[in-house]
Amino acid sequence: MADVVFQERRVAHRPSVGKRSSLHYALKRKSTVAFLMALPLILLVALLVVYPALYSLHLATLNKSMTKFIGLGNFEFLFKRDTFWLVVKQSCIFAISAVIFKALIGFIVAHFVHNVPANKQRRWRGMLLVPWVIPPAMSTLAWLWLFDPSYSAFNYTLSFFGIGPIPWTGDAMWARFSVILVNVWYGAPFFMIMYLAALKSVPDQLYEAAAIDGANWWQRIWYVTLPMMRNIIAITTLFSLIVTFANFDIVRILTAGGPLDHTHIFATWAFRVGIEGSDIPLGASVSLFMVPILAVAAIFILRDISKRGNEA
Amino acid sequence: MAEVSLRKVVKRYDEVEAVRGIDLDIADHEFVVLVGPSGCGKSTTLRMIAGLEDISDGDITIGGDIVNDVPPKDRDIAMVFQNYALYPHMTVAENMSFGLRLKHYPKAEIKSRVAEAARMLDITDLIDRKPKQLSGGQRQRVAMGRAIVRNPKVFLFDEPLSNLDAKLRVQMRIEIKKVHQKVRTTTVYVTHDQVEAMTLADRVVVMNHGRIEQIGTPNELYHKPATRFVASFIGSPAMNFVPCRLEDVGGRLHLRLTDRLAFPMPPVRAARYQAVPRTDKLLLGIRPEHIIEARQHLAPGVEPFDTVLDVTEPMGMETLVYFTLEGSQVCGRVNPNAGAQDGAPLRLAVDLNNMHLLNEVTGVVL
């Protein structure tokens, strides 16, 4: 938005008329006025986003006691540590698999709710949104009890089938599975509600046309529903990817990064080294690593959306 | 190509009967238009033929096969929707070829069929565009192209022109007629616009309250309507209805409109209405073009009368005049040079050779 305004202003200057008239011209432009009106908010956002971002960049260049500038020393240190690479790998596995399952489950459940008769739909929508509206710190506590190895509901139930006891949070693989499961449980309703809105915006006549054209159920989803929902899917996925990547509370409460750092992701590990390990510059460096990874994902997804923005 | 038959077809939504047992036979190559006011069941009927709605009772056959439980994709039909229903993410060519691609036609054949349909509809230049880049008329052509490339047994049109402006509508109407002359596919067309129905159809089916009021060629419906509904629905401005009764004056049948106004029945009509009880409450049905300015020499059966005009509407080639007769507003069409003026008296003539007589209670044309 700001870019556009500045560019337009530059264009406005080009005919090199008198200084006053060009200012007058610039003020008459709707976009300039809009920019000026939005300026207080832009400044506020800048203050709340840009300042901490720059400050963390500054922090990342200091030594542990925050007394000396050491340049990229913290990053060099991180690159040499196996735990860091373990965290990178785990963050990617955690975010990507959780988002895939949230999207899949959200899509399926949205279809289910979409096909429920209108008078019962509100009830289902409300019930299915519950996981998302409970503060995750609280619901994760409930999950923690469900996962308890010795006397939890899960292991108790499984014991009837001769299975277990399963070390839900004690074994590396099971612990990863558990944090992903809780994250999917918490995040899928968001996908469901977004996809449901997208589904409702697809005109019925398109499905009827497709039915007459000879499309079966699967082809209707593939050729009509999915293309019509592409932008929503892309935006929801991007948003969820960012939020999931930066997740802290679920992992912190459920496993606290254990066993042996095998469920740490960027945010929890940054907390561990920065706050608990009293090395704030190193913690800042860890959390900064999320930026390039998410930026690449954002650029790809948003570029695809703007390319197709004019179709629908 | 195929004939389509409906036998006692009923559609119920919970307690409401949208279609109440209709029978209809559509011949091969025929262009049939279902017309009626909104809520008359015409679109529901079309959607039942398409298979988009289940039928509650009765049978529908296409090409001799009962298709009651056959899904739309297996009925070999093509439908053009009111909102075009083009896939927004596909180009014109992809939209048109979608059905063929699903059926795994060879690529070369798909290409030639699309090209031929595009040529027929004059949209060859638009073939790589997306629907959003097209105007309403162009989208309508693409929707028709999508139907044509499939080469189906039956075309179904669901109010295809209602989203276009008046000028385009006339243009596309001609276009649809031309296409039908070329491809000769059996066509069922739904509209609420009686002009569209009259201009396009081989036969028109007038529907009202879920029933068929009358089936006939456009001329039959216009000149020999069966009911008051058909008489008033077909034709613009609509047919006039004036309360009247029959009486015998000097051994000759007369049509009495008011205490002071009665006309002798022309011989052709007198024979037909002789048996009507004189006490029955009747309506005179007369089209505006049969109320004209009185001339020096009037043909037999054309009777003059004096009236005072309420309103005149000069249309250029003719002037519509409105006056009141027995509490009913009546419209006539006079020559623009007849001197018709708002509030002024004028001598008019009514052509009783073209009159209709209706039973006021049952609405049936006698």
SS3 of chain B: CCCEEEEEEEEEECCEEEEEEEEEEECCCCEEEEECCCCCCHHHHHHHHHCCCCCCEEEEEECCEECCCCCHHHCCEEEECCCCCCCCCCCHHHHHHHHHHHCCCCHHHHHHHHHHHHHHHCCHHHCCCCHHHCCHHHHHHHHHHHHHHCCCCEEEEECCCCCCCHHHHHHHHHHHHHHHHHHCCEEEEEECCHHHHHHHCCEEEEEECCEEEEEECHHHHHHCCCEHHHHHHCCCCCCEEEEEEEEEECCEEEEECCCCCEEECCHHHHHHHCCCCCCCCEEEEECHHHEEECCCCCCCCEEEEEEECCEEEECCCCEEEEEEECCEEEEEEECCCCCCCCCCEEEEEEEHHHCEEEECCCCEEC
Of B71, B73, B83, the CB nearest to A205: B83
Place of tokens 């899928």: A188
Residue B124 has pLDDT above 70, yes or no: yes
Would you state the pLDDT for residue A1?
39
Residues 217-236 of A with CB under 8 A from B: 219, 223-224, 227-228, 230
B366/B358 Cα distance (integer angstroms): 6
What is A73-308's CATH topology? Answer: MetI-like fold (1.10.3720)
User: What residue spans of A60-117 are helical by DSSP H?
Assistant: 73-79, 82-114
ipTM: 0.81
- Cβ-based neighbour number of residue A221 at 10 Å: 16
The answer to whether residue A201 neighbours chain B at the CB level (below 8 Å) is: no
What is the per-residue pLDDT for B321?
Answer: 93
Q: Cα dist. A243→A110, A212, A255, B131, B314 in Å?
A: 21, 41, 19, 36, 70
User: Which domains does chain B carry?
Assistant: 4-233 (3.40.50.300), 240-359 (2.40.50.140)
Instruction: Say whether pLDDT at A286 is over 50.
Output: yes
Q: How far apart are CA A101 and CA A196, in angstroms?
A: 17
Contacts of B50 in chain A (CB under 8 A): 208, 212
User: Are the beta carbons of B89 and A216 separated by less than 8 Å?
Assistant: no
Asked if B85 and A228 come within 8 Å (Cβ–Cβ), the reply is no
Interface test with A, best of B46, B87, B94, B148 (most A CBs within 10 A): B87
Q: Which amino acid is present at A217?
A: W
Distance CA B219, CA B201 (A): 10
Name the more confident of A265 and A24. A265
pLDDT of B1 > 80? The answer is no
Q: Is pLDDT of A6 > 70?
A: no
Residues 6+ apart with CB under 8 A from A42: A2
- From A307's Cα to the closest Cα of chain B, the distance in A is 12
pLDDT of residue A20: 61
- CB contacts of A228 in chain B (<8 Å) are 88-89
What residue of A is the nearest CA neighbor of B158?
Answer: A205
User: For an interface test with A, which of B89, B101, B113, B134 has the most A Cβ atoms less than 10 Å from its Cβ?
Assistant: B89
Inter-chain touch B89–A308, beta carbons under 8 Å? yes
d(CA B119, CA B256): 60
Residues 38-57, chain B, touching A (beta carbon < 8 A)? 50-52
Q: Percentage of chain A surpassing pLDDT 70? A: 90
Residue B89, chain A, CB below 8 Å: the answer is yes
Selected residues 320-349 of chain B with any CB under 8 Å from a CB in chain A:
none
Identify which has the larger pLDDT, A302 or B348. B348
- Determine, for residues A228 and B150 on separate chains, whether the beta-carbon distance falls below 8 Å: no
Whether the Cβ atoms of residue B147 and residue B158 lie closer than 8 Å to each other: no
Tokens of B235: 């034709």
Structure tokens that stand for B286 in this block? 């007369």
Q: In B, which residues are within 8 Å of A210 by CB distance? A: 87, 98
Report the pLDDT averaged over residues B294-313. Answer: 88
* Minimal Cβ distance to A203: which of B51, B72, B83: B83
Is B169 in contact with B200 (CB distance < 8 Å)?
A: no
The residue among B50 and A69 whose pLDDT is bigger is B50
For residue A209, the chain B residue with the least C-alpha distance is B85
Tell me the percentage of chain B whose pLDDT exceeds 90: 34
Residues 6+ apart with CB under 8 A from A310: B130, B132
Whether residue A267 lies within 8 A of chain B, CB to CB, comes out as: no
- What is the distance between the alpha carbons of residues A27 and A16, in angstroms, rounded to a whole number? 16
pLDDT greater than 80 at residue A114: yes
Q: Which of A206, A216, A230 sits opposite B87 (nearest CB)?
A: A206
Q: Does A212 touch chain B (CB under 8 A)?
A: yes
Strand partners, B314: B319
Q: Do A310 and B77 touch (CB under 8 A)?
A: no
- Average pLDDT over every residue of A275-297: 82
Alpha-carbon gap, residue A302 to A289, rounded angstroms: 21
Inter-chain residue contact B89 with A312, CB threshold 8 Å = yes
What is the structure's pLDDT at B48?
92
State whether B85 and A208 contact (CB < 8 Å). Answer: yes
| Cross-chain residue pair B73–A216, CB shorter than 8 Å | yes
Chain B: closest CA distance from residue A250 (Å): 39
- Summarised one tens digit per residue, pLDDT across range B143-182 is 989 988 988 889 999 988 888 888 888 888 898 898 889 8
Q: What are phi and psi of B151, to 5 degrees?
A: 50, 55
Q: Chain B within 8 Å of A305 (Cβ-Cβ)? A: no
Contact B87/A209, CB-based, under 8 Å? yes
Q: What is the pLDDT of residue A8?
A: 42
Domain boundary assignment for chain A: 2-59, 73-308
Rg (CA), chain A: 25
Q: Contact, B327 vs B242, CB < 8 A?
A: no
Average pLDDT, chain A: 81
Both structure tokens of B228: 């008051």
Comparing A20 with A26, the larger pLDDT belongs to A26
Which segment, A164-173, A256-265, B115-124, is predicted with the most confidence on average?
A: B115-124
Contact of B105 with chain A, judged by CB distance below 8 Å, is answered with no
Q: Is B73 close to A311, i.e. CB distance below 8 A?
A: no
Distance from the Cα of A209 to chain B's closest Cα (Å) equals 7
Q: Is B101 on the interface with A (CB under 8 A)?
A: no
Interface test with A, best of B52, B94, B156 (most A CBs within 10 A): B52
Reported as a single tens digit per residue, the pLDDT across A47-62 is 898 888 888 888 888 8
- The pLDDT score that the predictor gives to residue B34 is 92
Higher per-residue pLDDT: A236 or A300: A236
- Taking the C-alpha atoms of residue B226 and residue B216, their distance in angstroms, rounded to an integer, is 10
Please compute the mean of the pLDDT values over residues A174-188 and round it to a whole number: 89
Residues 131-150 of A with CB under 8 A from B: none
* A32 in Cβ contact with A26 (< 8 Å): yes
Q: Does B79 sit within 8 Å of A212, measured CB to CB?
A: yes
End-to-end Cα spacing for chain A: 22
pLDDT class for B322, splitting at 50, 70, 90? very high
Chain B nearest-CA residue for A214: B73
Residues A228-244: pLDDT tens digits?
888 888 888 888 888 88
List, as ranges, residues 139-198 from B with C-beta within 8 Å of A.
Answer: 146, 150
Interface of B with A in 191-230 (CB under 8 A): none
Tell me how long chain B is. 366
pLDDT of residue A18: 52
Q: Are strands B302-308 and B57-62 parallel, antiparallel or unpaired?
A: unpaired
Q: What region does B301 belong to: left with phi over 0, alpha with psi -120 to 50, or beta?
A: left
Q: Is the N-terminal amide bond of B237 cis, ω within 30° of 0?
A: yes
